[in-house]
Structure 1
């Protein structure tokens, strides 16, 4: 048991029921608009990319269309790559970095790769600046075909519809101070568990797949991002967010076992980026640039080593 105050919804030691879920839903207010921030930037790319409407989310009468962009009809002679952002809606540079990559660098890969980009996987959470969807489900632990999160099944269906195999999938995320102040306490409360405080690393890091390690690929991304922002050091125990640091700026998770987004393609090269926007050494522009650098470094390496 910790001395940290319990999350304001629920009873210590008891998992949430419908009443607690309803309280949490009522506490979530819209703080920005997907249709104003994200959709117009997607539509502005219609002359350069094919825009795919790959699903719709409807929460309590609020409908959100899910969009992906593709650089033309897939060429079977080329490798296929997926870029995802906004799986956690509150992780802003994941969304904005994906859009910035489309606007500034994606044309460099015409004729080199079948590129598919889903900039905002969880629009309801984007608007509420939240980790979970409206059902208090974390999408990045629920990418399974029978998932209760429509954000997840829609993306899985989009991937399946492309046909063929994927060479690369890079999933753009952030680690924020609110992970420790809001989202991990909420998770503990939802599940009726004690909240054990952790530490937020100061800097960028990557999450490799422990069941498909690609160390040279990860380091190529770290080297590119290091030109934009600082890389998170390990803590005194050699850890980042409780996981051993296996290389400069890299930790590992078993992506498929954790039902993470980066597992949905079965690609040879996969990674999850983690930008730290709350650092005094970072700005929103730096965070977006770091995501863009990660994407093009990942593409360059994967194409060169296909």
Structure 2
């Protein structure tokens, strides 16, 4: 959730021996989601989203020339829904690639317990231009209070009146030497340590004692009450945790490493979170 910015286990076929379904491709997404972002064609990306098998894609709104879509998997009203987001910052391509790969593979056995709602790319202008901000030169992630940011309006409309089993937000960090995450959870034990253990098979971890100006333990940032209050109402993830979920995880992969490995790490983290919410 940064505010500004100017390998082991090779060839794993799955994210772990206990994996129920989620395949992590050795060569990322062959024949499926393209994870190499050369050119960053948003039209091409959305063509792949709309072609997803067994998923329901719907347009949430239009921002300039770019439509923003949500993808739904599972529609059982008796089951809770998890929210997964990527592409809030346009220069963080592993997030959209990971969301697209998750949607391409389908929810599998997880759909017996959960519905999934995903926003593959919240910032299509930034994605298409390879930049952090949107077309207004606004950092969407920290603009929730603003009424003049169309991407924020889309998020507000999507989550209005809803609760989510968990919210997972994929991000990246160009300065970090390794993977780290933010986690907030009410009522149950956090899963950050389990995520770090699994991700360590794919990426080095950022084990610095201070990350992004906040205390960290083993690559896990748990915002203090003071920091949480400072960010209240501004950051999309903070607002979602305050009003729409009891479990928030924000992952940060290091962009200095190959995109394929970063996507694998994001999917591995997602698997840990999902399995923590299965009955």
Please give the range of the TM-score, normalised by the shorter of the 2 chains.
0.7 to 0.9
Q: Where does residue 182 of structure 1 map in the other structure?
A: none
Question: May I ask how many residue pairs the two structures share in their alignment?
Answer: 235
* Rounded Cα–Cα distance in structure 2 between residues aligned with 1:173 and 1:202: 14
* Rounded Cα–Cα distance in structure 2 between residues aligned with 1:174 and 1:95: 11
| TM-score normalised over the length of structure 2 | 0.77
In our comparison, the structure showing a higher alpha carbon Rg is 1
- Relative distance call for 1:88 and 1:232 in structure 2 (3 A) is same
* Rounded Cα–Cα distance in structure 1 between residues aligned with 2:199 and 2:219: 10
Contact 1:105 1:296 in 2 (8 A): no
Match of 2:51 among 27, 44, 52: 44
Match of 1:244 among 205, 215, 232: 215
Match of 2:252 among 265, 268, 274: 274
1:84-115: CA deviation from partner (whole Å, max 9, x where unpaired) = 00001110001101111112353332221010
Q: Where does residue 124 of structure 1 map in the other structure?
A: 125
Match of 2:67 among 59, 65, 79: 65
Q: Which has the higher helix share?
A: 1
Give the RMSD, CA atoms, in angstroms: 2.3
* Rounded Cα–Cα distance in structure 1 between residues aligned with 2:106 and 2:275: 12
| TM-score normalised over the length of structure 1 | 0.71
1:14-73: CA deviation from partner (whole Å, max 9, x where unpaired) = xxxxxxxxxxxxxxxx9532001x11210111x401111111101xxxx11111110133
Q: Where does residue 78 of structure 1 map in the other structure?
A: 79
Q: Where does residue 170 of structure 1 map in the other structure?
A: 168
Shift of 1:248: 1.5
Shift of 1:272: 0.7
Gaps of 5+ in 2: 1-5, 7-37
Match of 1:201 among 176, 179, 196: 176
* Rounded Cα–Cα distance in structure 2 between residues aligned with 1:134 and 1:164: 28
Q: Where does residue 13 of structure 1 map in the other structure?
A: none
Contact 2:159 2:244 in 1 (8 A): no
Equivalent positions of 1:3-18 (< 5 A) are none
* Rounded Cα–Cα distance in structure 1 between residues aligned with 2:106 and 2:188: 24
